[in-house]
Amino acid sequence: MSTLAYSYSEPYKLPAGVLALVVHGALFALLYFGVNWHNDQQQGMVVDIWDSLPAMRAEPAKVELPPPIQQAEPPKPVEPLKQAELAEPPKADIELAVKKKPKVKLPEPKPAVEVKKPPAQLKPAVAKISEADRVLQAAQAEQDRARAAQAAATEKIVDEYVSRIEAKIKRMVVEPPDVLESMQAEFDVILIPDGSVLSTRLTKPSGNAAYDEAVARAIVKAQLLPLPPDTSLFNRFRELHLTIRPKKKE
């Protein structure tokens, strides 16, 4: 029996230990990376429905926008100029031809007078100057038109955003019970570029102090106010005059 006396020890102790550690490591990694209960407070989604949206709205980055637009703006007036130049020359030629006719006629009746020749040479120059003037004027007109169109577009965007801001504020107003539809409260609001409100001032009370107060609160609650993505337009929003009317009652 002495040959059989032995102390028992389990085989593969070390590999088993390593495997156990590996199992726990894997489990922990799974839990650490796979399970992450995030409790983000869901903010109420606000949906605006607008029948017309400015095209710029699609571009998401607000900060990167201004430089390309500012760079893009200067060429615009130039383009009309080029078009004007392209369009003008034929006209100028015709005019030149028209002007040349009298010029051609002039030297024939009075060939003897030599003094008058210089003016004859001057005349084309004068014509040329007036022609350049006309081109310039045309370009100016074109530029003005473009500027006016742009201004109109800007005005449209500004109007749209102002009414959007007003609508957002209006939504936030908790109206006191005795409000008439005819009331309107006017506020001067100072904004900073991210759309938050720096200060509000009641410029024209509605006649119902409770309503005025509710609107003032709503203005604060409505920030950040929607602003056009084109930050160059912000100057139009820096000091905003808002007119808030009560919601229509059914």
Query: Which chain residues interact with another protein by CB under 8 A?
Result: 1, 3-4, 6, 8, 10-13, 15-17, 19-21, 23-24, 27, 31-32, 35-41
Choice between 2 and 52, CB closer to another protein: 2
Cα–Cα distance measured from residue 84 to residue 189, given in angstroms and rounded to the nearest whole number: 44
Q: What does 156-188 look like in DSSP terms, one character per residue?
A: HHHHHHHHHHHHHHHHH----SS--TT--EEEE
How many angstroms separate the CA atoms of 45 and 228, rounded? Answer: 20
| Pick 38 or 249: Cβ nearer another protein | 38
Rounded Cα distance between 135 and 143, Å, is 12
Q: Which is nearer to another protein, 39 or 182 (CB)?
A: 39
Query: Minimum CB separation from another protein for residue 44, in Å?
Result: 14
Nearest approach in angstroms of CB 20 to another protein is 4
Closest CB 33 distance from another protein, rounded Å: 9
CA pair distance 81, 177, nearest whole angstrom: 60
Q: Closest distance between another protein and the C-beta of residue 12, in Å?
A: 4
Specify the residue, 36 or 182, whose C-beta has the smaller distance to another protein. Answer: 36
Q: What is the CA radius of gyration of the chain?
A: 39
Cβ proximity of 48 and 110 under 8 Å: no
**Closer residue to another protein (CB): 6 or 115:** 6
Chain position carrying tokens 């005819």 = 182
Closest approach, Cβ 190 to another protein, in A, equals 27
Other Cβ atoms less than 10 A from the Cβ of 101: the count is 10
